Amino acid sequence: MKHALFIGRFQPFHTGHLDALYWAYNNFKKVVDDPKDALFHVVIGHSQDELNYKHFWDRVFVEKMINLCIGHLSPIKICIDHVKDINKPSDYGLRVFNVAGISRWEPKYIYSDNKSTLVCFKELDVTNSVEVPTFAKFNKRGTEIRLMITSYLLGIDTSTDFMQYIPAPCREMMTGWLNEQIDKKVQHVDL
């Protein structure tokens, strides 16, 4: 069986991720002889169990966003895996393989736009590590989008321009999350 792993934190899952994921999926399809003998893993990395300024959304929320956008892809089966980040690169790569149920020696393709993630797998002699191109039309990184959202939630900026970077199928879900955060903020102020 051939495996592809598309790895990211997806905080938030944005239009750049979606384009990169489509690119990786289509790239993997080109090297697969039989779609029944292939599996495309989307690996959600989390550095902590607790939510913080780098991790606004929990695994369940992120997984729902991804499923809304890629559930229709075929013929290669897609599965979503979760892995907790660790600082030792080769251990991280082995942990990803373990969580995804992949032997270290099975044919696999690693896709990421993060060079340090790809280094984790090069240390394990994975030769098919592919840096996903950055899509210029979506030039905001997750950090910038989180800053825009934080400014909105704190009332510093009333613009919701950040929503243009959220994939269309996920915007209603993101709006619901934003409203929950605003309600929580109002409750804390009222106390």
- What is the average per-residue pLDDT within 172-190? 79
User: Would you say residue 124 has pLDDT above 90?
Assistant: no
pLDDT at 177: 94
3-state SS record for the chain: CEEEEEEECCCCCCHHHHHHHHHHHHHHHHHCCCHHHEEEEEEEEECCCCCCCCCCCCHHHHHHHHHHHHCCCCCCEEEEEEEECCCCHHHHHHHHHHHHCCCCCCCEEEEECCHHHHHHHHCCCCCCEEECCCCCCCCCCHHHHHHHHHHHHCCCCCCCHHHHHCCHHHHHHHHHHHHHHHHHHHHHHHC
Domains and CATH numbers, the chain: 2-131 (3.40.50.620), 142-190 (no CATH)
pLDDT at 89: 67
Say if residue 75 is preceded by a cis peptide, omega within 30 of 0.
Answer: yes
Percent of all residues in the chain with a pLDDT value above 90, rounded to a whole number: 36
pLDDT at 108: 85
Mean pLDDT for all residues in the chain: 84
pLDDT at 159: 93
Lowest mean pLDDT among 9-18, 76-85, 86-95, 106-115: 86-95
Q: Please compute, for residue 148, the number of CA atoms within 13 A of its CA located in the half-sphere on the CB side.
A: 16
Whether the CB-CB separation of 42 and 13 falls below 8 Å is answered with no
User: Would you say residue 166 has pLDDT above 60?
Assistant: yes
- DSSP conformation class of 155: T
Residue pLDDT, tens place only, 135-159: 545 567 888 899 999 999 988 999 9
pLDDT at 107: 77
pLDDT at 184: 80
Of 82 and 171, more confident: 171
pLDDT at 191: 38
Which H/E stretch holds residue 17?
A: helix 15-31
- The sheet carrying 108-112 orders its strands as 77-84, 38-46, 2-8, 108-112, 129-131
pLDDT at 189: 45
pLDDT at 186: 59
Close Cβ partners of 140 (under 8 Å, ≥ 6 residues apart): 14, 16, 148, 162, 165
Helix (H, G, I), strand (E, B) or coil at 116: helix
Alpha-carbon gap, residue 57 to 51, rounded angstroms? 7
User: Would you say residue 31 has pLDDT above 70?
Assistant: yes
Residue pLDDT, tens place only, 47-60: 666 677 677 888 88
User: Would you say residue 72 has pLDDT above 80?
Assistant: yes
Residues forming beta bridges with residue 130, ordered by sequence position: 111
